[in-house]
Chain A
Amino acid sequence: MEYMLVLFSDPKPLMTMKPAEMEQMAGAYYAFTQALQKEKAFVDSRRLKTAADATTVTLDGGKSKVVNGPYIETKEELAGYYLIDVPDLDAALKWAARCPTAGHGHVEVRPIWPMPG
């Protein structure tokens, strides 16, 4: 089954991080991604720029309405995702716990809607 590990974290501490800390964090994500790849569980992953750079669009009476900022403002914002392919929820929860985000933010595990055909 495919799952998306949806990563939520507070971007503020990142802004004041020392280079050594930044390097350590990047190393942790790199190692996590490598582990997923080695186990053939990795499908895709991207990191998002901060929600302050987000723009939200909706149609209002047929006209596009553009708003600066994310759809929902939260302290911990949507920061990225891992798309993984594993046998079941328990396996997905194990990977979620290993994801570095789980240490400083939250990882939401969502099953992917299977594509028809």
Chain B
Amino acid sequence: MAEGDEIARETAEAVARRSYGKLVAFLAARTRDVAAAEDALAEAFASALAHWPTRGVPDNPEAWLIAAAKRKAIDAHRAARRGEKAVPHLALMTEELATASSGEIPDERLKLLFACAHPAIDEAVRAPLMLQTVLGFDAAAIASAFLVSPAAMSQRLVRAKSKIRESGIPFRVPEREDLRERLPFVLDAIYAAYAEGWSDPMGTDPSARAMAGEAIWLGRLVAALLPDEAEALGLLALMLHSEARRAARRDPSGEFVPLSEQDTGLWDGAMMREAEALLRRAAALNAIGRFQLEAAVQSAHAVRALKGGADWAAIVTLYDALWTMTGSPVIAINRAVALAETQGAEAGLAALDALDPKSLSQYQPYWSARAHLLAGTGAMDEARAAYDRAIGLEIDPAVRRFLQLKKTRLAH
């Protein structure tokens, strides 16, 4: 019984969240006032969560939410009349709600995503802003995922919404060259939202897991609405490949399992097939980019499920291309590890030595990669010292235990 309630509540929440974002987008696209749109819909949303689990999700949830939001907007309109200040906005909003309830609501979420990821918005707040406005996450949940205090996160979100309204940021999907320039901001923000959900250290926080799932949902939305943008498909493929391995990342006792030791039987085959199909579609569009390359790396790892081993030669080639494109030291570390698989630990270590150690001295994966490669060359004392650096820098207790285990297993 209690379980049934829980399921009804979760269904209501999922349906409401999707409709909520669509309605916020619809209203904000007209008034440019995200905060006012959220206010009008917040009460409708809360009321849906109170009623739907007991009375069932209505046949047309959006019509239901609009009706509820309309009542709320009219009330606010009346209240504001006395103050006069917010009248034009609210009058417009009440009008829009009246038209909307008579027909199908156009999907403006993509416009809202482009507004949230506008270059005039502080980069750090773009992903949180998307999570809040399009998906309806509250500031506290977002704050905990992004390791910021709820008060600070609320303040940043309020400021960003005010910037959208006051500076005249348009709600528009840019065309041609502008799209090429702006789409990466949207994709980066979606990936940031995914990564925050993914990096949940214990793998146990349900809100972080939900955030990764919702980021994938946003990725699906963008891929569906811009089916000819290769990088939009590439990002979705990348997220699906990572997500497919979620169940294999921890063993039954909660211990960290590295990619190379994961039980491929726990990987989600359907998700991986979907990712592969997306990558093929993206490749046919002939516009290679960072997300497609990173997804292709994951695809070369996924080969292990079929052939018993990852395609390391392909991985090295892909990391070469990514390194040329991004110059990112994180890519360079991964490239060095892959190089060790094809050409031996010495070659991998040489590639690692070529990097600037100053920028990497506080980066855990650099030290664990270094330890792994040193062990491969037989330099056990140095390997142990490198593991100590890695252990000292790691935040996740499970990963820390894993690194300690690797260290104790080194031959003397």
B118, B120, B168, B172: the one within 8 Å of A1 (CB): B168
The reply to whether A88 and B166 contact each other, CB–CB distance below 8 Å, is: no
* Interface of A, helix, strand, loop or mixed by DSSP: mixed
Q: Are B172 and A90 neighbours in the complex by a CB distance under 8 Å?
A: yes
Interface residue tally for chain A (C-beta within 8 Å): 10
Q: Mark B113-133, 1 if CB is under 8 A from A, else 0.
A: 000001010000000000000
Please give the distance in Å from A83's CB to the nearest CB on chain B: 15
B171 closest partner in A (C-beta): A88
User: Using Cβ atoms and an 8 Å threshold, which residues of chain B touch A89?
Assistant: 118, 120, 167-170
A87 at the B interface (CB under 8 A): yes
Closest to B169 in A: A89
CB-CB < 8 A to A11: which residues of B?
Answer: none
Residue in chain B with minimal CB distance to A110: B167
Q: Give chain A nearest CB distance to B56 CB in angstroms.
A: 42
Complex interface: chain A residues within 8 A of B120 (CB)? 89, 93
Interface residues of A in 44-67 (CB under 8 A from B): none
In the complex, what's the smallest C-beta–C-beta distance from B299 to chain A, in angstroms? 36
CB of A99 within 8 Å of the partner chain = no
Alpha-carbon separation in the docked complex, A87 to B32 (Å) = 13
Asked if B170 and A90 sit within 8 Å, CB to CB, the answer is yes
List 16 A-B pairs, Cβ < 8 Å.
Answer: A3-B168, A87-B168, A87-B170, A88-B168, A88-B172, A89-B118, A89-B169, A90-B170, A90-B174, A90-B178, A92-B168, A93-B120, A109-B167, A111-B166, A111-B167, A111-B168
Rank and list the top 7 A-B pairs by shortest CB-CB distance, nearest first: A88-B170, A1-B168, A89-B168, A88-B168, A89-B169, A111-B167, A89-B167
Q: Which residues in B have their C-beta under 8 angstroms from that of A90? A: 169-170, 172, 174, 178
Interface size (B, Cβ < 8 Å)?
Answer: 10
Q: How far is the CB of A68 from chain B (nearest CB, A)?
A: 35
Residue of B nearest to A86 (CB): B168
**Bound CA span A88–B172, Å:** 10
Which residues from B are CB-within-8-Å of A3? 168
Residue of B nearest to A88 (CB): B170
What 1/0 flags go to A78-100 for Cβ under 8 Å of B?
Answer: 00000000011110110000000
Contacts of B172 in A (CB 8 A): 88, 90
**Additional pairs, 19, CB under 8 Å, beyond known A3-B168, A87-B170, A89-B120:** A1-B168, A87-B168, A88-B168, A88-B169, A88-B172, A89-B118, A89-B167, A89-B168, A89-B169, A90-B169, A90-B170, A90-B172, A90-B174, A90-B178, A92-B168, A109-B167, A111-B166, A111-B167, A111-B168
What sequence of 0s and 1s flags, for each residue 159-197 of chain B, a beta carbon within 8 Å of any chain A beta carbon?
000000011111010100010000000000000000000
A88: B residues at CB distance < 8 A = 168-170, 172
Considering the chains assembled together, what is the distance between the CA atoms of A59 and B352 in angstroms? Answer: 62
Residue numbers in A under 8 Å from B178 (CB-CB): 90
Most chain A CB inside 10 Å of its own CB: which residue of B167, B168, B169, B170: B168
- Please report the C-alpha to C-alpha distance between residue A93 and residue B168 in the assembled complex, in whole angstroms: 11
Contacts of B167 in A (CB 8 A): 89, 109, 111
